[in-house]
Amino acid sequence: MRVRVEVKKRVLLATLMGELDHHAATQLRTRLDRELAKHKIKTLIVDLSQVGFMDSSGIGLLIGRYRQMQLSGGRMCIISASRTVDKMLTVSGIRKLVKVYRDPKIALEEGLANE
Amino acid sequence: MNEMTVSFLSVSENEAFARTVIAAFIAPLDPTVTLLNEVKTAVSEAVTNAIVHGYENTQGMVTMHAILDGRKLTLSVSDVGCGIADIEQAMVPTYSSKPHEERSGIGFTVMQSFMDKLDVVSQPQKGTCVMMEKQL
């Protein structure tokens, strides 16, 4: 799993690439939390459109970051494209908590507008 | 008819290994991408459970056994770890014995929704065996 982190103002776009399982989630958690704290992030956008595989450990990571953003008064959203990831988002019920976008540009614009 | 067994150490790197093995095993049936991903996800959940809960991140062996009979896949993932005292509770969606570790608690729910059949046999201090079936 690779991750690309882009920060604009206090919006963080994390583009995940590869397979998001328990192994990857453990490493990713530390990296994301460090970036969130460092830039005092208000909006976290997690782009899953380049994730070819995700299991419930990925959901655990997403819900964990969602709770963290809530605690700090921020927000979080997800970008999804693949059918595999979509199905996992649906089964987990995370759609009730976190807004899912198709287009990263729209998510980014809305995040910046909320600054 | 085909059958295979593979045993590997309970380290998180082997979650991807187990997914690759099961994908290769069913590849001759040329399953759809959706079916393939469902099987890989179910295996990933079961193997992660063995590593995180069965062995509680200590080292032990995880065994995956699979049988293909026509297009019917029967597979099991087992460990000889700490076992599950209350299987019913473990299978409740979003219940996790380790919520502080950001476990979502939906592993069994995912296995149930992605496979046709799921059975869990476990004995405290002896280990756990998760059996699943799916028509490919």
> Which domains are assigned to chain A?
2-109 (3.30.750.24)
Residues A101-106: contacts with CB under 8 Å, at least 24 apart: A101/A77, A103/A79, A104/A13, A104/A15, A104/A45, A104/A47, A104/A49, A104/A79
DSSP state of B42: H
Evaluate whether B46 touches B19 at the Cβ level (below 8 Å). Answer: no
CA B47 from centroid of its chain's CA atoms: 5
**Measured distance CA(B35)–CA(B30) in Å, rounded:** 10
| Pairing relationship of beta strands A43-54 and A11-20 according to DSSP bridges | parallel
pLDDT score of A110: 83
DSSP state of B51: I
Handedness of CA B54, B26, B3, B8 (dihedral sign): negative
What pLDDT shows up at residue A48? 96
- Tell me the C-alpha distance between B121 and B113, whole Å: 19
The band of A30, judged by pLDDT with boundaries at 50, 70 and 90, is very high
What pLDDT score was predicted for residue B43?
Answer: 98
Q: Is the pLDDT of residue B60 over 80?
A: yes
Residues 6+ apart with CB under 8 A from B46: B77, B107, B111, B130, B132
pTM for the complete prediction? 0.94
Which residues in chain A touch residue B48, judged by CB atoms under 8 angstroms apart? Answer: 21-22, 55-57
Given a contact cutoff of 8 angstroms between Cβ atoms, the answer to whether A49 and A104 are in contact is yes
Please count the structural domains in chain B: 1
Residue B91, phi then psi, degrees to nearest 5: -90, -5
Distance between A84 CA and the closest CA of chain B, angstroms: 7
CB contact under 8 A, A23 and B13: yes
Please indicate whether, in this complex, the C-beta atoms of A53 and B37 are within 8 angstroms of each other. Answer: yes
Q: What CATH code is carried by the domain that includes residue B68?
A: 3.30.565.10
Name residue B49's beta-bridge partners: none
A1 — pLDDT class (breaks 50, 70, 90): very high
Helix (H, G, I), strand (E, B) or coil at B96: coil
Q: Which residues of B have a catalytic role annotated?
A: 45, 49, 103
Write out the two tokens for B45. Answer: 């959940």
Residue of B nearest to A59 (CA): B104
How many residue pairs from chains A and B have C-beta atoms closer than 8 A?
A: 68
| Number of residues in chain A | 115
Give the B-side interface with A, CB within 8 Å: 12-13, 15-16, 19, 33-34, 37, 40-41, 44-45, 48, 51-52, 101-104, 106-107, 109-110, 113
Residues of A in contact with B9 (CB under 8 A): none
* Positive or negative: CA dihedral B42, B47, B18, B61: negative
Average pLDDT, chain B: 96
Closest residue by Cα to residue B44 from A85, A20, A64: A20
Take residue B46 and report the two structure tokens written for it: 């079961």
- For residue A114, pLDDT over 80 is answered with no
Interface pTM (ipTM) of the complex? 0.93
Asked if residue B103 has pLDDT above 90, the reply is no
Domain span holding position B20: 2-135
Q: How far apart are CA A52 and CA A17, in angstroms?
A: 8
